A and B are shown apart, each in its own frame.
Chain A
């Protein structure tokens, strides 16, 4: 447009003055940014015409030159624009790459952070205790604990040797863990009452469990150290999960903890559990010291089957039954091979109230063979629970030159119902609604009942036991209410009644006579913390 205007104006005899910024579109538009001065017009002769023609030619030439300059300027402008665009494109591309690199770096940093987090040691604090371990779980250390504050209140308190008492039944810090993936350990010292109802020396802190377990697979594990001997079902149930404050009479006839080596495992996802081991050997209900009391060893073993555990038959999934047993021989006679001294000064058997109702007389020792057999089973379905166990403890004893093969037997059956509907299990009850009165949650309530008997071999009397003091039979029933506030806190209350056959008729001052002279009635309470 601009060039056309110039040419037309030239032929019209117009003189133009271009602005310095002719190449600028804003200064060269058709609306009159250009200025024009119109000279006077004359119509004289040829000289005048030739002068005008020359001027026109000069003007044409000038216009051409100007036109070329304009074209050059426009070309330069286009080149500049292209160059600028190319530079801008390069800059954009550089920036784009930088942004992409930053974004990718961020991605990689996030991946690294996730990987690093996975490699970090793990710390866990919760209802199951406190634990920390390596990221791959090959090394784990966990701290658990059990605290049981009990009370026992006896009727006819003045006639029983056991005091009405508030007692620290168990106070156990528990250290467990895993090293090198396959090696588990457990260490449990006892700072509480120790052996229940025993003399003050038994309350001295002692080691209850201390073992190392090599776990090649769930089916094949080897354990060494001090731990519960694999015989009695009730004994094997964890202390914190018992239905009552104290185990029943049947546990009087099975070993407690012992030192030894055990091969054990769960086959087919727990359908079959087995354990077999060689131990120092302990008397009935005894808890081993940290060293054996004799040269000979005792074999313990247990098989337990839950045939429907892995089936879809829910009502039968938690049906289990089995048998435990032991066989030992005491070539060196010793009272440590006899039952525990719980509740008295001589080896014997004790009640729910931890009072001794039967005692061997002074001078009786374990001699030669001692075997036990314990058929056992349980059934759990929904809030219902049922457990039963029978135990035979067949023991050769000697006193002076006389010896006898005594076969003591016991059994128990116990059951329960969770009133609030939670499932009852061998591992306790987990409340659906943990205790929190602010929001109207009260935990879980369970009622429990139990009956148990223990019969002492009649051949024990009168030479190995004093029939005027020791009972030959105890029969106990108990009922209780368990309140599970949450997974860690539990409160129990129960009442137990034990009647005797034989024993003292009057009111002797010491066990076992004072215990067996009348039925035992005792009211228990417990506040339990476990984590």
Chain B
């Protein structure tokens, strides 16, 4: 009888400990498709080896602001990997799906990689675009997405503003005028960074694309170095795309542990290497050194220093009736 009980117990434990199929949904912003395609494969391999479980990570991409709103409206993301902290703050504040201090849960304010904003120009740079000043010339057509919906566009906008502040002795009025003139040269506003890349690269509109650094490198990789050049301006902004587990959704799905591990693995050697390989600037010194050659030197300002943080920047510039609404005339 005891033997039978032992067999039953061992069998039950074996069944209970059996490998599971786990599904995660990563809701991300526009230009991270390729990054997370690579990373998901690597993480699934890592997790399989560690636990025996099979993880399939579904990806959802779009303008960062729109993606955050989708999560607020019920899109059941286990993790979010968005373009800026404000968008995850919005999820925390409006939907209460994760705590307000979510950014403290992972190193580097939950930003495992960084990026910046550069210029992608036509091959040979026919309009001789070297710096932000060149973007406000009357004959230059600039392509950038809508900062109301796109996280990347907000980085673009703030980078231009930061340049104008730097150039004009911190004169806000002059910075406002500069950005206003810049947006006069913007004929179309896509809702996301990938849409703007399509506008510039595939629809062949404009002389310069304000782009995530990784997006610019990707365009050259995909469409050929004979078609575009990257111009890194002397000054740009430090973009820190954050990541977070959406606690309540993960808890509901029973995926909290794997979701947490999914984000933590971004800081691993392999995760950092994948980030660098996809033209993001890795946080780890090792990966940063490995990929340093593909990034041009640039003076980087931060949102905290120049704009008082994302909450203030959002309220001042991008909220309804904010500066952007005042200066942009479609």
Contacts and interface: CB of A to CB of B under 8 A. Distances in A.
B188 A105 contact: yes
A52 interface: no
Contacts of B204: 100
B120 interface: no
B74 A138 contact: yes
B74 A101 contact: no
Contacts of B191: 108, 111-112
A138 B195 CA distance: 29
B73 A101 contact: no
B74 A136 contact: yes
Contacts of A97: 141, 205-206
Contacts of A138: 73-74
Contacts of A105: 187-188
Interface in B172-208: 187-191, 195, 199, 203-206
Contacts of B188: 101, 104-105, 108
A104 B74 contact: no
Contacts of A108: 188-191, 195
Nearest to A115: B191
A77 interface: no
A358 B165 CA distance: 94
A101 B187 contact: yes
A122 interface: no
Given A97-B205, A101-B205, A181 B74 contact: yes
Interface string B202-225: 011110000000000000000000
A513 B172 CA distance: 98
Interface residues of A, number: 12
A100 B73 CA distance: 35
Contacts of B205: 97, 100-101, 104
Chain B binding site: helix, strand, loop or mixed by DSSP?
loop
Interface in B136-168: 141
Contacts of B189: 108
B203 A136 contact: no
Nearest to B189: A108
B190 A136 contact: no
Interface in A69-116: 97, 100-101, 103-105, 108, 111-112
A104 B204 CA distance: 10
B73 A104 contact: no
Contacts of A136: 73-74
A104 B202 CA distance: 10
A145 B205 CA distance: 56
Interface in A152-202: 181
Contacts of A181: 74
A112 B66 CA distance: 12
Interface string A219-234: 0000000000000000
A127 to B, nearest CB: 28
Given A97-B141, A108-B190, A103 B74 contact: no
Contact of B203 (A104, A111, A112): A104
B179 to A, nearest CB: 21
A108 B74 CA distance: 25
Contacts of A111: 191
B97 to A, nearest CB: 14
Nearest to B206: A97
B203 A100 contact: yes
B161 to A, nearest CB: 24
A89 to B, nearest CB: 13
Contacts of A100: 203-205
Nearest to A119: B73
A104 B141 contact: no
Nearest to A105: B188
Contacts of B190: 108
Contacts of B187: 101, 105
A100 to B, nearest CB: 5
A118 to B, nearest CB: 11
A103 B188 CA distance: 10
A103 B199 CA distance: 10
A138 B74 CA distance: 9
A138 B72 CA distance: 12
22 contacts: A97-B141, A97-B205, A97-B206, A100-B204, A100-B205, A101-B187, A101-B188, A101-B205, A104-B188, A104-B199, A104-B203, A104-B205, A105-B187, A105-B188, A108-B189, A108-B190, A108-B191, A111-B191, A112-B191, A136-B73, A138-B73, A138-B74
Interface of A: 97, 100-101, 103-105, 108, 111-112, 136, 138, 181
Given A108-B188, A136-B74, A181-B74, 13 more contacts: A97-B205, A100-B204, A100-B205, A101-B187, A103-B203, A104-B199, A104-B203, A104-B205, A105-B187, A108-B190, A108-B191, A138-B73, A138-B74
* Top-7 shortest CB links A-B: A101-B187, A100-B205, A104-B203, A104-B188, A105-B188, A104-B199, A100-B203
